Amino acid sequence: MVNILEKKTAPVITTNLRDHLVEVPEVIRRASGLIILGKRIKSLIFSTDVAVIKNTNADAVMSVYPFTPQPIITQSLINASDVPVFCGVGGGTTTGKRVINLALDAEFKGAIGVVLNSPTKNDILKGVRDTIDIPIVITVISEMDDFKGRIDAGATIFNVSGAKDTAKIVRRIRALYPEMPIIATGGPTDESILETIEAGANAITYTPPSNTEIMKELMDKYRGQNY
């Protein structure tokens, strides 16, 4: 009799031309994940590079960039991705009714969720909540953030980005709101990622190496080959 509880080894299937991926750290698999619209998400790659987005094993994409969000960029990111995309729609430099319109446009284009920057006012957050149906991710950068106000205004998920204090902030949120979904930056090492997961993060964002770094490694490999 086969023991169905016995751990099975998953077959790995790849091809010659598609085995060069930007892989997220394996330790992220230890997170509980978030089940959003039926999809379990544990790892999110933090990128707006369509080449990276097309060649990663992350469960989802977190696309937030330091410019005014534009619908054509949102469309390009979603078109390039094989996995769900969370799109940044402003809330810092970009504010007011424009944020609400960008969020609605992102939903119409197929984003699984929208991401609002930490300076977003609660009335704008509420306006987005009243307008769209998909999850709203609000960025948290400090233990002093108004967690309750964010939840009351309609935030679905906290995205904790507190640099070295990230795990501490996650731990604080988890103590106050045990059921609140949390995405967090994991840091540069397996140890820092695991600390963030153990603090209570459900999913981890991973910042990949740049195209320049990846290309350098590839060129070094080519130079080492004998032709």
DSSP 92: S
Asked whether residue 147 is assigned to any structural domain, the reply reads yes
According to the model, what pLDDT value does residue 12 have?
A: 79
Asked whether residue 11 is assigned to any structural domain, the reply reads no
**Local confidence band at 11 (pLDDT 50, 70, 90 cut-offs):** confident
- What separation, in Å, do the N-terminal and C-terminal C-alpha atoms of the chain show? 53
Is the pTM of the predicted complex or chain greater than 0.85? yes
Two tokens, residue 181: 């979904």
Domain ranges, residue 137: 26-208
Asked whether residue 5 is assigned to any structural domain, the reply reads no
Look at the chain and report how many structural domains it folds into: 1
Q: Cα separation of 117 and 60, whole Å?
A: 19
Q: Cα separation of 69 and 86, whole Å?
A: 13
Q: What is the CATH number of the domain that holds 53?
A: 3.20.20.60
The pLDDT tens digits of the residues spanning 194-212 come to 999 999 999 999 999 887 8
Asked whether residue 153 is assigned to any structural domain, the reply reads yes
DSSP 201-216: -SEEEE-PPPHHHHHH
According to the model, what pLDDT value does residue 177 have?
A: 97
CA dihedral 112→115→121→126, nearest 10 degrees, is: 10
Q: Mean pLDDT score of the chain, rounded to an integer?
A: 92
According to the model, what pLDDT value does residue 4 have?
A: 54
Q: How many residues does the chain have?
A: 227
Asked whether residue 174 is assigned to any structural domain, the reply reads yes
Asked whether residue 12 is assigned to any structural domain, the reply reads no
Which residues are within 8 A (CB) of 94 and not within 5 positions of it... i.e. 6 or more apart? 68, 69, 102
Q: Decide if pLDDT at 227 tops 60.
A: no
Asked whether residue 217 is assigned to any structural domain, the reply reads no
Two tokens, residue 218: 């590839």
Asked whether residue 224 is assigned to any structural domain, the reply reads no
